[in-house]
Amino acid sequence: MDYKKYLVINPEVQHALDNNLPVVALESTIISHGFNYPENIESARRCEEIVRENGAIPATIGIVDGKITIGLTDDQILEFGKNREMPKCSRRDVAPIIAKGLSGATTVATTMMFAHMAGIKVFATGGIGGVHFGGEDSLDISADLEELAQTNVAVVCSGAKSILDIPRTLEYLETNGVTTIGYQTDKFPDFYTRDSGCKVDYKVDSTDELAKILKVKDELGFTNGIVIANPIPEESALNTDFIKDLINKALKDADNQGIKGNKVTPFLLAELCDKSEGKSVVANKALVWNNSRVAALLAVSLSKLNK
């Protein structure tokens, strides 16, 4: 496949990849659609700082003028943060966006895909998408799950977003052979809280142990991804009943207003921010930063193991 002509890899990132140095992929949708400006810029910069502080090289990924860019510059991050009309690109959008020479922010699915193209093994995000409530009828299922089924990247996340049907999401992952591993927990988190009421498949206590699992998985020739569930820090977690009540009300409001498809999640996140008086945004930042830290430590462990 001749995809390399569409890739632009930041020289620092390329040097790290060429020399088996630890690299962590970061998504750009969280910049363009996750937080309001200028908090989105501050959060993106902080993610990169945390990755560096823990020994790895950050590679924020996006599509810039029709090129898959692995390692956005600070000016490019600023542009992604200021442009609130930046297209949100999942797998289905990639070819048209590139062919038209446009720019686009990468979701979990496309960040995984592009990280794999570049040879990056570890990716930090907030929470993966999943099966929406009523998904058994609407088939509203995130492309993230399909990407995890076929793309060999380790995704460090705080579980799946709280607005999703967690049991059905985990069932979907299990059907596709995607392992869920809890980092220092046996509980599967649901973004704003540390315990969704569901269990992970396996628990590990160190990134060295995680790295061994990834290495064995590669040596066996498995091509699917893996979910590393890293709970939100305890001091930043929201009360379960509080956040569930807000989510249920927001879901009803979305239904009443006819909001469907990929517009549901942005609507719900905005509603949660408003109704929680900003508490959801504070929690969101805390978990993303914590995931960046663990991803960096994992990338370091994996680099050492591969040497």
The one catalytic residue in 48, 79, 147, 161 is 161
**What span, in angstroms and rounded, lies between the C-alpha atoms of 162 and 159?**
9
pLDDT of residue 168: 97
pLDDT over 90 (residue 90): yes
Helices (H), 103-239: 108-118, 135-138, 143-150, 166-175, 207-219
CATH code at 196? 3.40.1790.10
- Catalytic position from the list 27, 48, 79, 271: 27
DSSP per position, 12-32: HHHHHHHTT--EEEE-SHIII
C-alpha to C-alpha distance for 307 and 304, rounded to whole angstroms: 5
134 sits in which H/E element? none
Tell me which residue range forms the domain holding 185. 3-306
Residue written as token pair 């949708």: 29
pLDDT tens per residue, range 154-209: 999 999 988 899 999 999 999 999 999 999 999 999 999 999 999 999 999 999 99
Report residue 43: phi and psi, to 5°.
Answer: -65, -40
What confidence tens digit (pLDDT) does each residue in 197-254 have?
Answer: 999 999 999 999 999 999 999 999 999 999 999 999 999 999 989 998 998 898 899 8
Type of residue numbered 156 = V
pLDDT at 297: 98
For this structure, is 217 an active site residue?
no
Alpha-carbon span 116 to 99, nearest angstrom:
21
- Mean pLDDT score across all residues of the chain: 94
Is 263 catalytic? The answer is no
Q: Is the dihedral of CA 30, 36, 39, 45 positive or negative?
A: positive
| Strand partners of residue 63 | 68, 104
Q: How many domains does the chain have?
A: 1
